[in-house]
Amino acid sequence: MRVAGAHDALGSTLAWQAGFQAVWASSFEISASRCLPDASVLTMTEYLAAATNMQKAVGIPVVADVDTGYGNNLNVAHMVREYEAGRITAVCIEDKVYPKVNSFAATSHDLLPVSDFARRIGTAKAAQRGEDFYVIARTEALINGLGVEEALKRCYAYAEAGADAVLIHSKKKDQQEIVEFLDGWDGRLPVVVVPTTYPQWSAAEAEKHGASVVIYANQGLRATVQALRETFRTICQDGTSLGVEDVIAPVSDIFALQKLDEWLALEA
Ligand code: SPV
Ligand code: MG
């Protein structure tokens, strides 16, 4: 399964139209859309509102990145109930200490003891009310430099605690430690990978090595930043939008994304 990161309904819709099978409600994207760091600054309510706006717009599942779960196990139970009530299909909780900072930030990434996070996963699973809600356990062991063995040990413990899938994250420039993880994994649960810093590793290769889900977590946001920057700079410099008209979407395209005809038909 291939998943694209987004932070709003528009990005989610474009990912869906492009053929992605799910949308990642990325904490990095959602916080960046407010020009705030991905550092547990926004509240659960704000992340939830973003995720539900995304889910309302698309016919594919939203997988919500819920960081560390926004506090202790009480917060995690509350979070699960709120996301489930918001019709979110899955949440992904990471084993870092709250407050967390984005995995690529040059700072410390302290982990909870494995038994504490396993209990947290158990709490999350016990809190869900229906059958169709999934909890992904994400280990930051490789981000913390603890190695593949520790990452495997943690993921087995999280599987034991009831996780529905595990996510293994790396900030290395190549996929080697992810491949080692996949080679060492016994396949008891699906594995999710996020090839941001090792883009040369294709989804097809990841799947061949046993990954079930590949998340392109932030490429949409980075494309948006680049496109807006170039467009605004050109218009500001030229004093006319003529130089960008051929490369920006026509207004009719925006009307189609808004489903304007369907809305107008309600009053026809
Ligand atoms: C996110 O997209 O918010 C993620 C993935 O958690 S990463 O930014 O790579 O940590
Ligand atoms: Mg995140």
Q: Which phi and psi angles does 122 have, rounded to 5°?
A: -60, -40
- DSSP, collapsed to helix, strand or coil, labels residue 244 as helix
Taking the centre of ligand 1 as the mean of its atom positions, its distance from the CA of residue 249, in whole angstroms, is: 28
Structural domains of the chain, with CATH: 2-217 (3.20.20.60), 226-267 (no CATH)
- DSSP, collapsed to helix, strand or coil, labels residue 91 as strand
Beta strand pairing call for 213-216 and 191-193? parallel
Just list the catalytic residues.
Answer: 38
0.85 surpassed by pTM: yes
Are the C-beta atoms of residues 133 and 84 closer than 8 Å to each other? yes
Using most ligand atoms within 8 A of CB, pick from 65, 91, 221 the residue to mutate for ligand 1: 65
Ligand 1 pocket (Cβ < 6 Å) reads 5, 26-28, 38, 65, 102-103, 194, 196, 217-218
**Which positions ≥6 away from 251 have C-beta within 8 Å?**
none
Using most ligand atoms within 8 A of CB, pick from 12, 28, 30, 168 the residue to mutate for ligand 1: 28
pLDDT at position 266 is: 98
Distance (Å, rounded) from C-alpha 53 to C-alpha 6? 11
pLDDT at position 89 is: 97
Tens-level pLDDT at each residue, the chain (268 residues) = 999 999 999 999 999 999 999 999 999 999 999 999 999 999 999 999 999 999 999 999 999 999 999 999 999 999 999 999 999 999 999 999 999 999 999 999 999 999 999 999 999 999 999 999 999 999 999 999 999 999 999 999 999 999 999 999 999 999 999 999 999 999 999 999 999 999 999 999 999 999 999 999 999 999 999 999 999 999 999 999 999 999 999 999 999 999 999 999 999 8
Are the C-beta atoms of residues 79 and 66 closer than 8 Å to each other? yes
